[in-house]
Chain A
Amino acid sequence: MDAELTNLVYYVPPHVDGYVYPNEQNLLWSTLIVVYPYITGLVAGAFIMASLVRVFKVKALEPVYRLSMLTSLAFLLCAPLPLLFHLGHPERCLQIMMTPHLSSPMAMFGFVYAWYMMAVLLLELWFDYRRDFVAWSANVRGLRGILYRILTLGVHDVSEQALRLDDRMGKIISLVGIPSAFLLHGYVGFIFGSIKANPWWGNVLMPIIFIFSAIVSGISLCVLMYLLLNWARRQAQDINCLDAMGKFLFYALVVDASLEALDWIHRLYAAEESIHILKSLAAGRLFYTLLVGQVCLGTAVPLVILGGLQLFSRHVVPQVRQHLYTLSAALILFGVLAMRWNVVIGGQLFSKSLRGFTTYKMELAGHEGWLMSIALLVLPFIILGVLVKLFLPQKSPVTRTETGAAVSQAA
């Protein structure tokens, strides 16, 4: 799919070592397919973190609850874009919802996405924000006021009973949302895990590894967004909140690292036919992205830092702890992107004949190139900026009271 137009004018074959099937010389799934699981992973991970507040009642994470939900939404809105740009016929994209082939995991996309967007994320946000929408629609003028009025859906009841119902609905939706988030990202892992033709992809652990690396990346993103937001607003960082996030991040990372290690240990132990080419792949074509990027920088270093912080947090000054959290979160985010790269691109770099490698000719411009991927990764942050401006007004940390109703401390 890459460089198809230039290929038609003058074909330059990629560098091939060994033997690859002739049709496999050029990679089909490009950086866009690396970006898509990354984005949905962030969506699922940010939501899981937010649901820790609702479902598991982790009080320390309350300051970051709304930010996590908005982050999840911002990334969810951008999630279909890489897929759309990657399709050979994007104008036929609706077919996936009109005639979904039930034996194909990819056919789930439209429904899982629609369900998660409408029945989980937007619904939970609505129930959480409803009281504020009613308040803001009364006070704010202009376009924003109209927006808030629309968002109330015409319901202005903010009695105690209504607010209790809101809270209960939010809890139920959060509970339903956790498996939905798993499904949203897990089905992508299953798409890869179901391809028995490719030994790098087709194994049972793939969906689980995807889910846990998603959780890890989502929490890291929330850490960074929280730090960024407070820094931009010159507000004090809530170190308890950061410590709590760091704790969950550490434990999630331990599980994620164990799963990925298990995958490798099993492969090396069972040593099936494909082990030789996969070892060459990991040590050769994927050396920098896998061994350096994903394993060392993305997993081992954050594990050490976060583990150390769990053990020695009393001895570390909050300032330094903050910087260490920033560093770990950034490294993890980079490491998870490297993981997606290693799975998607790595799986196509070696031949299904198990006899050779090809190379990935990545375009710079063009609808599947570098610049497009960077643009798609930057866009959600722009959307998040707009959402924060609209829905996270300055000086209004939201806390939940004993009864569970949201109490805004804004004027």
Chain B
Amino acid sequence: MIGKGYTRRKSLVALAGAAAGFLVMAPARKARAAVQKLFTSTGAPKGYDPTQHKWLMAINIERCIGCGLCVEACKKENHVPPQPTYFRTWIERYIIKKPRPGQAAVQGETVVDSPNGGAGGFPPCEIPREEILKAFYVPKLCNLCEHSPCTQSCPVGATFDTPDGAVLVDPKYCIGCGFCIQACPYGCRYFNPYTRTADKCSLCYHRITRGLRPACVEVCPAEARLFGDLKNMGPDDPIAKLVRTNKLHTLKPHLGTEPRVLYAGLDKEVR
């Protein structure tokens, strides 16, 4: 078999042929199937076209009362593990103290806490009222980044940006390496010990595709969480009103993730 005719040229051709063949055999299903082919199984919401929507959440810090209903509703709605280290959304309480007497500053120390993520409300704080300059609550969740570092870092393509603005995890494909959890600057991802995959706020994808609002928005009694559709936003939309009447912020803009979740009334102490 070896010996006759195995010249350098023939071997190079054979190698090139093998390389070409291997490249072709790579995922050959490159054809972008129409989105209408999806959502055909019995449980899926019929007639939902992801390309017609671009969902957005906005938070009005002035309104959040720290009741924690959103955190509990999220846990119930999405079957998030109950332990206090797995949260798809959580609330942080910021207590900014007055400056110490003689201290040449406008504000003193900032104390942040989030007991059980804020679920069940916050216990009374131990800092006496006279020492507090101001305090507020900041709900946190997936920031729906335009250039999400989490989807960039997934080695297998198990977390992705949907056409309609959510960032989802594919629990059947995730290998559980945890790279996305490390890459998220906002700490919104966790490792689900039951599914042993990464998990995060899915923007209640199973609700918004059926015309419902995410559970956290649904139960918020103070209209601190606003949910809207960028592609179908009339002037009366609560988010449109918020944008017109407030100065807006996003979290950690210096990282270049371009988060789409808008915060109104964010303080400089919030990271």
Contact = CB atoms under 8 A, between A and B. Distances in A.
A99 B177 contact: no
Contact of A92 (B112, B173, B178, B271): B173
Tell me if A's interface is mostly helix, strand, loop or mixed: loop
A196 B177 contact: no
Contact of B156 (A29, A101, A355): A101
Given A19-B113, A95-B173, A352 B156 contact: no
Contacts of B92: 19
A99 B27 contact: yes
B85 A95 contact: no
Tell me if B's interface is mostly helix, strand, loop or mixed: loop
B196 interface: yes
Interface string B139-158: 01000000001001111111
B208 interface: no
A104 B187 contact: no
Contact of A195 (B154, B157, B183): B183
Interface centre among B85, B114, B174, B181 (most CB of A within 10 A): B85
A123 interface: no
Contact of B153 (A23, A88, A99, A194): A194
A101 B154 contact: yes
Contacts of B203: none
Contact of A22 (B90, B176, B177, B185): B90
A13 B84 CA distance: 8
Interface centre among B177, B196, B197, B256 (most CB of A within 10 A): B177
Contacts of A104: 152-155, 179
B255 interface: yes
B182 interface: yes
A21 interface: yes
A102 B168 CA distance: 19
Interface stretch (A4-12, A65-73, A127-135, A241-249): A4-12
Contacts of A352: 185-187, 271
Interface in B97-154: 111-114, 116-117, 140, 149, 152-154
A8 B193 contact: yes
A22 B153 contact: no
Nearest to B195: A88
B175 interface: yes
Interface string A69-91: 00000000000000100111110
A349 to B, nearest CB: 13
B176 A88 contact: yes
Contact of A87 (B27, B153, B175, B185): B175
Interface in A96-133: 96, 99-101, 103-107, 109
A409 B56 CA distance: 75
B136 to A, nearest CB: 15
A22 B84 contact: yes
B83 A11 contact: yes
B65 interface: no
A63 to B, nearest CB: 36
A108 B173 CA distance: 18
A28 B193 contact: no
A99 B191 contact: no
A89 B176 contact: yes
A22 B182 contact: no
Contacts of B271: 352-355
Nearest to A18: B112
A198 interface: yes
B86 interface: yes
B188 interface: yes
Interface string A348-377: 100111110000000000000000000000
A174 interface: no
A19 B92 CA distance: 10
Contacts of B262: none
Contacts of B27: 99
A115 to B, nearest CB: 14
A18 B149 CA distance: 26
A196 B185 contact: yes
A353 B191 CA distance: 19
Contacts of B81: 8
A24 interface: yes
B87 interface: yes
A197 B185 contact: yes
A65 to B, nearest CB: 30
A355 B149 CA distance: 22
Contact of B155 (A28, A106, A195): A106
11 contacts: A4-B193, A18-B112, A22-B114, A23-B87, A25-B85, A88-B177, A88-B178, A89-B176, A89-B197, A106-B155, A196-B149
Given A11-B85, A19-B113, A89-B197, 6 more contacts: A1-B191, A22-B114, A25-B85, A95-B173, A96-B155, A196-B185
Across the A-B interface, the 8 shortest Cβ-Cβ residue pairs? A88-B176, A21-B187, A88-B196, A197-B185, A4-B193, A106-B155, A19-B112, A107-B155
